[in-house]
Homo-oligomer: A and B are copies of this chain.
Amino acid sequence: MAAKPTPDKILQIGFGFWASKTLLTAIELGLFTELAKKPLDAAGVQERFGFHPRGSADFLDSLVALRLLARKGTRYANTPETALFLDRAKPSYVGGILEMCSRRLYGFWNALPEALRTGKPQNEAKAGGNPFDAIYKDEAGLRGFLSAMTGLSVGSGAAIAKKFPWKKYRTFVDVGAAQGAVPVQLALAHRHLQGAGYDLPPVEPIFLDYVRSFKLEERVRFHPGDFFKDPLPGADVIVMGHILHDWDLDEKRMLIDKVYRALPKGGAFIAYDAVIDDERRKNAFGLLMSLNMLIETPGGFDYSGADCKGWFKSAGFRQSRVVPLLGPDSMVIGIK
């Protein structure tokens, strides 16, 4: 006997923007960073953040009910998760991507109906042009974006460090390295590896700051370059994370060809993204990420493992496989 249908799941997903925007607001305002210094009662939070008394307790208690804050007596404190991942003072901070969600994407997604009708991005680049121009135009914006990418990549970087046979290889380059989350995870886990991050020249000081904060500057270098104009530096392994999905099919194929040319025989390409299951039935995050590429880019889209293995084969890779990483991310490994 089938259970009687209820509207619970529909209402839960439909109202999901309430919890989402509440958490995003707390991250954007730095609530978890402040509570990591010292737990505060509602009056203390009001004073520190300039809140009006009306909504403060509801805001804080909502976060308690969502298990994102703990309340002991009248004081609010972080949970183990929010203390570790949402305190800006810790290298484990993953909030950058969520700050970007709060400041940019939440609002842009309100234009999803228009995006579906026009097929065009709904962000700063709505007037046309490359959306990365807006992000790269000043250092504050760029630091924000790169830190956001770290939040999205650090867990996958740690999983790539574990799930790939690094003992067989000595060098790697992370193409589109941003702050260097993945190079740092690989170098921390494998002392024999020498690596580099490759990204646009303005990224260099931000990358080096991050790498130095882990004291890895001897083994993790920076290569400036533009992967649309320049050849890629050679290495035993080339990693490309959350990059292929930004671009249209021709651009994806061009990038894969460029990686192939830069690798030695036997070298490996690790492309990772929120790879969609081949049946396109399970990885909701990957499919929604692809809609996010619709909102953010002129031609980007996420892809299944089968899609990517097909492109790898066309480029000349002699074998490839898909390996799940953390959460929605998988890596597609191609061997030259």
* A interface residues (Cβ-Cβ under 8 A, vs B): 2, 5-11, 13-25, 27-29, 49-59, 61-62, 64-68, 71, 80-82, 84-86, 94, 97-98, 101, 105-107, 109-110, 112-113, 115-120, 151, 155, 276, 280-285, 287-288, 290-292, 294, 301-302, 326-327
Which residues of chain B are near A94, meaning CB under 8 Å? 7, 10-11
Contact A13 B17 (CB under 8 A): no
Contact A20 B10 (CB under 8 A): no
Contact A287 B61 (CB under 8 A): yes
Contact A15 B155 (CB under 8 A): no
Which residues of chain B are near A155, meaning CB under 8 Å? 6-7
Contact A288 B116 (CB under 8 A): no
Most chain B beta-carbon neighbours within 10 Å: one of A10, A29, A113, A301: A10
B5, B57, B109: which contacts A84 (Cβ < 8 A)?
B5
Name the residue of chain B whose CB is nearest to the CB of A277: B65
Which residues of chain B are near A6, meaning CB under 8 Å? 81, 155, 326
Question: What is the CA–CA distance of A107 and B101 in the complex, to the nearest angstrom?
Answer: 14
The distance from the CB of A276 to the nearest CB of chain B, in whole angstroms, is: 8
Contact A116 B85 (CB under 8 A): no
Question: What is the CA–CA distance of A283 and B17 in the complex, to the nearest angstrom?
Answer: 16
Q: Given the known A-B contacts A19-B284, A52-B119, are A11 and B68 also in contact in the complex, defined by CB atoms under 8 Å?
A: no
B13, B24, B65: which contacts A280 (Cβ < 8 A)?
B65
Question: What is the CA–CA distance of A57 and B80 in the complex, to the nearest angstrom?
Answer: 39
Most chain B beta-carbon neighbours within 10 Å: one of A8, A50, A58: A58
A-B contact pairs, 8 of them (CB 8 A): A13-B20, A15-B20, A28-B113, A52-B117, A58-B301, A59-B116, A61-B287, A62-B291
Contact B2 A80 (CB under 8 A): yes
Question: What is the CA–CA distance of A33 and B8 in the complex, to the nearest angstrom?
Answer: 19
Contact A24 B14 (CB under 8 A): yes
Which residues of chain B are near A57, meaning CB under 8 Å? 280
Question: What is the CA–CA distance of A285 and B13 in the complex, to the nearest angstrom?
Answer: 12
Contact A58 B18 (CB under 8 A): no
Q: Given the known A-B contacts A10-B86, A25-B113, are A19 and B18 also in contact in the complex, defined by CB atoms under 8 Å?
A: no
Question: What is the CA–CA distance of A304 and B169 in the complex, to the nearest angstrom?
Answer: 61
Contact A22 B59 (CB under 8 A): no
Question: What is the CA–CA distance of A115 and B21 in the complex, to the nearest angstrom?
Answer: 12
The distance from the CB of A33 to the nearest CB of chain B, in whole angstroms, is: 14
The distance from the CB of A142 to the nearest CB of chain B, in whole angstroms, is: 22
Contact B25 A20 (CB under 8 A): no
The distance from the CB of A27 to the nearest CB of chain B, in whole angstroms, is: 7
The distance from the CB of A54 to the nearest CB of chain B, in whole angstroms, is: 4
Q: Given the known A-B contacts A13-B19, A62-B288, are A281 and B71 also in contact in the complex, defined by CB atoms under 8 Å?
A: yes
Contact A22 B288 (CB under 8 A): yes
Contact B284 A62 (CB under 8 A): yes
Question: What is the CA–CA distance of A67 and B10 in the complex, to the nearest angstrom?
Answer: 10
